[in-house]
Amino acid sequence: MVRIRKILHKLPYYNNYPLHLYSYKDALPYIFANAASNIEYFPCIVPGWDNTPRYGKAGEVLTDATPELFQLQVREAIRRVKDKPPEHKLIFVRAWNEWAEGNYIEPDIKYGRGFLEAISKEVSSKDIILYAAANTNRYPTVKTSFYTKIKKILDRYVLWRFRKRLEKLPDNAKNGEEAPRALADPSVSIIVLNWNGREDTLQCLRSLEKLTYKPFDVILVDNGSTGDSVKQIRSQTWAFLLHIIENGKNLGYAEGNNVGIRYVLSHGTDYIMILNNDTIVAPDMLDKLVSAAQRWPKDGIFGPRILYMDKPDIVWQNGASWDAKKLGPAFPEKDKPEEEVSNEESEVDGITGAALFFRSEVPSAIGLFDKKFFLVYEESDWCWRAKKAGYACRVIPSAKVWHKVASSFDTEASPLRAYFSARNILLLARKNLSLRSRIRLLLRSLRNLTPRFTISQQGGASLSKRIAWSYTSYLNAWKRISRDPIQQAKRAGVRDYLFRRFGDCPGRIREINRIWAKEHKI
């Protein structure tokens, strides 16, 4: 770790004071930054900072530190050492209370045992050693038996004292009553997928800063954006821990989010949420979803109520059901005013991928999204697999999200959307429906791609003339369909399904979509 004072000097401070006041929240993203590559650094975490009693007006103060923010720092430190060799799996707690400097983790009147419990929650069940460190937070790699012996001696003394302190939990927690928030709240990791959507993504992340639930972190997965999205996002300061993963190319919704899910599962969390980058969330969204997950312990997947961004009182999605007659998903609440929609927490057949909240055990049990879908229906397939494994889906209307709708396609009616919908509904059926239903759906898809030939019923004309007129009309209909970009995309989707070509669409479809969007000024 770099020196704490050097970190603080990089941050803006409040100049209306004779000393340097910094926001603890603003300092978090810098704590683990700029580690040199030629030296082994052990993470150093700080519950606060105030060295003014010894430095006076030249001192620095970190303000507004809370156990929840400190817990995020502990989690990131653990992430950085979890894969290291045992002798290097160390985290230094930079804490002391000499000269009343206020940089301590001991219980106090304001937060009780909050800082200790923040460490306890993250360290429990993990093979991590924490040492109290006063003036040293940087050590070179030393591969000697002497270092290992010293470490074992410290383990027996320092760790023994540390664990003794952690054992002193509140009585109400021991009796099974509601535990203090810092100890009781499950952790949530939110995955946001970005692809050339800088403004949408920034707006989404800013709305996440207003979430009242703690602790949570955000994993931003960039799908090979060609602009400066990642640079702009990385250059800003966020009120949460933000991890950025750059894929280098567009892996689609399915595999792009799979990258984020794998990352989260490897670092540990209680709940995972996949959130479209063209959404904004209500401040209490996570509170509502976590509370619902605790009320419905047998359910695995939850979804908030999603409303239109430009019509904030109109419902876009409130869970989905499968229409066995029409062989497709049904959205009975769509386009209704919110006041007319039930607020019951109902079990549904599926949750839309725009805002998908689930227990971390679900992907561990059933696997990740099927990357063959790329876009559209991958979440339907995943929810179907989850239900077969015993994880029910439930919509939580009190949790709310607002969605721009179809930013990935320019619009819901685009050729790009038509291609993936036509191809992937057949893939969804092949994986989850009976043979009879699959045949019905395939025949219907083929029938919808061709015009119908009907003999004109115009009176007074001979049968031969009516047949000739109908044949001419049929040929003209074929010409119109062959030039229609939507129909071209649908035909390509069905054809690619029949030839088992999955993943991303052909480049020709994206070119058709680009021309179509330009003509429609989208």
Q: Are 102 and 65 in contact (CB under 8 A)?
A: no
DSSP 110-152: TTBTHHHHHHHHHHTTS--EEEE-SS--------SHHHHHHHH
pLDDT, mean of residues 302-314: 95
pLDDT, mean of residues 384-408: 89
370 or 55, which is more confident: 370
How many percent of the chain have pLDDT more than 90? Answer: 48
Three-point CA angle 377, 380, 386, nearest 5°:
145
Rg of the chain on CA atoms, in Å: 28
CATH 3.40.50.150 fits 185-403, yes or no: no
Q: What is the pLDDT of residue 100?
A: 55
Confidence of residue 268 (pLDDT cuts 50, 70, 90): confident
Residue 91 CA, chain-centre distance (Å), reads 27
pTM for the structure as a whole:
0.65
* Residues in contact with 129: Cβ distance below 8 Å, sequence separation at least 6, in sequence order: 89, 90, 91, 151, 155, 159
Q: What is the pLDDT of residue 118?
A: 83
Local structure of residue 244 (DSSP, 8 states): E
Helix (H, G, I), strand (E, B) or coil at 306: strand
46 or 409, which is more confident: 46
Q: What is the pLDDT of residue 280?
A: 97
Rounded CA gap, 192 and 188, in Å? 13
Confidence of residue 154 (pLDDT cuts 50, 70, 90): low
Report the 10 Å Cβ neighbour count for 255.
Answer: 22
Domain boundaries, the chain: 4-174, 185-403, 415-519
Helix (H, G, I), strand (E, B) or coil at 456: coil
160-211 per-position pLDDT tens digit: 554 454 454 444 333 333 333 333 478 999 999 999 989 999 999 999 999 9
Q: Using omega within 30 degrees of 0 as the cis cutoff, is the peptide bond preceding 337 cis?
A: no
* Residues in contact with 143: Cβ distance below 8 Å, sequence separation at least 6, in sequence order: none
Asked whether the CA dihedral 106, 110, 115, 116 is positive or negative, the reply is positive
DSSP 364-425: HHH-S--TTS-SSSHHHHHHHHHHHTT-EEEEEEEEEEEE---TTTSSTTSHHHHHHHHHHH
Q: What are the counts of helices (DSSP H) followed by strands (DSSP E) for the chain? A: 20, 18
467-480 per-position pLDDT tens digit: 777 777 778 777 88
pLDDT, mean of residues 249-263: 95
Q: Are 191 and 219 in contact (CB under 8 A)?
A: yes
Q: What is the pLDDT of residue 459?
A: 64
373 or 109, which is more confident: 373
How many percent of the chain have pLDDT more than 70? Answer: 76
Q: What is the pLDDT of residue 203?
A: 95
DSSP 65-108: --HHHHHHHHHHHHHHHTTS-GGG-EEEE----GGG-----S-B
Q: Position 213: which residue type?
A: Y
Q: Which residue has the tokens 């929240």?
A: 25
Q: What is the pLDDT of residue 115?
A: 84
pLDDT exceeds 90 at position 489: yes
201 or 482, which is more confident: 201
5-41 per-position pLDDT tens digit: 555 555 544 443 445 677 777 777 666 654 444 445 6
Q: What is the pLDDT of residue 177?
A: 38
Confidence of residue 434 (pLDDT cuts 50, 70, 90): very high
Q: What is the pLDDT of residue 140?
A: 39
107-132 per-position pLDDT tens digit: 776 777 888 888 887 876 555 555 54
pLDDT exceeds 80 at position 406: no
212 or 150, which is more confident: 212
Q: Position 170: which residue type?
A: P
Average pLDDT, the chain: 80
pLDDT exceeds 90 at position 402: yes
141 or 210, which is more confident: 210
User: Which two three-digit tokens encode residue 188?
Assistant: 């949530």
Question: Dihedral through CA 162, CA 122, CA 391, CA 292, nearest 10?
Answer: 100
Q: Are 304 and 316 in contact (CB under 8 A)?
A: no
